[in-house]
A and B are shown apart, each in its own frame.
Chain A
Amino acid sequence: MPTEQQLLDYYRKMLVIRLFEEKVEDLFTRGLITGTAHPCIGQEAVAVGACSALGRKDYVTSNHRGHGHFIARGGDPARMMAELFGKTTGYSGGRGGSQLMADYSLAFLGGNGITGGSIPVATGVALSLKLRSIDRVVLCFFGDGASNQGTFHESLNMASLWNLPVIYACENNMYAMSTPTSRSTAIADIADRAASYGMPGTIVDGNDLLAVQAAVRAARKRARSGGGPTLVECKTYRLSGHSRGDPRVYRTAAEEERQRKLDPIKLFRKVLIERGAITPRSDKQIRKEARQTIGDTVKFARRSPAPHPGTLEEGLHPCQR
């Protein structure tokens, strides 16, 4: 059972993720940042719950909707924001943008611009750990859409075949961009796919942080004891659009309204109040601090220098011309 301090830490992290994403949407609307991003509003409990179940040295791989994963893993929101502004102080010096940020010192191997692209990579990290008898596990985040890629099926087969220490955390937010899972996926529960590969597949309420944490914790224990991989399907909902400028014509306002009642941050706040971990007054203070953090990220990003065009060709291979 997490301590009160830990519960508060989870809550703060979820708030920072939510406010970060809302700020990013706002910055796009105001034309202050370019390109695109995929917000994870509504999915914060999966990111924070899953990462809270890991050890400090366990690896995490992410996907295109990865801001939450990175913040949950301990990423610095200011350097993330600077990356979105394309600045030198960003995690990738402005070269990667929203989808490609990494911090190996946090064992966070980065997001991925290709749906399903990180699933084999995570599997290979686990293979290397096993070959070298290193006691760490890999947590691989991906969405329902990625579970229709060949890489998902090929990787789960290999991971089970070789008994690799990897946790496949599928965030089923019900839509692959605009396509509902009912129109893209032949079965209702992605967790059922685990059976084809001889591994356990569990289903968890992805909006319930502590449920996600418990499921990932169990999978980690299994992986560390040599039990092999687990597929954990976290049922959740993306309250925002797929990416910036998504008019969400593929679903109804009534559906969104229903889902808003299941907002993971609201649910967790209730838990904290019931346990007496926060009061309306301390909650107000926590939220104020989170807003302050996000405000500071924008200030940091805006005053950071842009990369010099002369650096364009640097850093690939010393001799490749």
Chain B
Amino acid sequence: MSYTEALRTCLAGEMRRDKSVFLFGEDIGVYGGAFGVTRGLLEKFGPERVIDTPISEGSFVGAAVGAALAGSRPVVEIMFMDFITLAADQLVNQAAKLRYVFGEQARCPLVLRTPAGGGRCYGPTHSQDLTAWFVHAPGLHVAAPSTPADAMGLLKTAIRSDSPVIFVEHKMLYNEKGPVSPRARPVPFGKARVARKGTDVTVIAWSWMALEAELAADHLEADGISVELIDLRTLSPMDTDTVIASVKKTGRVLIVEEGPRTAGVGAEIGARVFEQAFDYLDAPLTRLASPNVPVPTSPTLERAMIPNRESITSAILKILED
């Protein structure tokens, strides 16, 4: 099953399971969403459960917050993660704070799905990975699955959760295939997946970068290099324990992030490693991320910007030289 099919199967399953779940976003009905994730769901569930919205991100996300407070379970689609900035107030100032301020009475079971990242040459305003912004906002959960099975399992958890969740999908993962059971149990938030066990170096990644790191690790395995790959799956909450345990074992760390390097999620992970496992490091901690520039459109420039299997391979080899 593809990543897209896993998401769609999950949405349909959750909509059947719970009548209060509805889908909300631009062009998600007849068109099926810009990347086809909701294709066919309008026919199955009707226009009261699959609702096309006007191009008003700031307000339809706010309306989803209101619907969630009133007892519905909206699953919102923001067509490109870049457009989430238009809804930032409703996410950061409204949804994120309700529970902390108003207590138990305020439940905001809101899921906001959005395709992030580059790889398709969509240019500066359709290619960004803004995940770090929302990891920095207390009160929001952030998930970023890399496999079809996790797309299914984490989305189940997100929809059943009473807290607002930013669910980061990736344009380069939609066509990726993998084993998925529609009856699979929900995947808990805050629990990383050890994608492969290894002894020489710990690589920490998520979303598309976890896939690229996996390919790099395959390549290095042929040369006898053993990579332990940790796919964080959720950035907030973050499974620091699994990271620290691995670092203590390997003594070498590479953090791979698609978003800009400065104040990125990788910086946070790195700081936690220094705080909790400094004495175990045998080599300088390395971060691989995009430079601090907007994502350019040109294929050669975009390729030069975002980490990939080759740059991950080189970074690992360099760490092992130290």
Contact = CB atoms under 8 A, between A and B. Distances in A.
Contacts, number: 138
Contacts of B240: 321
Contacts of A158: 53-54, 56, 59-60, 63
Nearest to B90: A120
B22 interface: yes
B70 A125 contact: yes
Most buried by B among A61, A121, A151: A121
Interface stretch (B5-13, B101-109, B253-261): B101-109
A120 B139 contact: no
B66 A104 contact: no
Contacts of A104: 102, 105-106
Given A59-B70, A114-B94, A124-B63, A316 B237 contact: no
Nearest to B104: A315
A127 B93 CA distance: 21
Interface string A168-211: 00000000000000000000000000000000000000000000
A319 B190 contact: yes
Contacts of B20: 132
B258 to A, nearest CB: 23
B60 A95 contact: no
Nearest to B53: A158
Contacts of B94: 112, 114, 117, 121
What secondary structure prevails in chain B residues at the interface with A? helix
Interface in B161-195: 163, 189-190
Contact of A129 (B60, B64, B70, B106): B70
Contacts of B190: 319-320
Most buried by A among B66, B100, B101: B66
25 contacts: A102-B106, A103-B105, A109-B69, A113-B93, A120-B61, A120-B62, A120-B63, A120-B65, A123-B62, A124-B62, A124-B65, A124-B66, A124-B68, A124-B74, A127-B67, A128-B67, A131-B22, A131-B72, A132-B71, A150-B59, A155-B62, A158-B60, A158-B63, A319-B190, A320-B141
Interface of A: 59, 61, 92-93, 95-96, 100, 102-105, 109-110, 112-114, 117, 119-129, 131-132, 150-151, 154-155, 157-158, 161, 315-317, 319-321
Task: Give 5 nearest A-B pairs by CB, closest first.
Answer: A124-B66, A120-B62, A124-B63, A154-B59, A154-B56
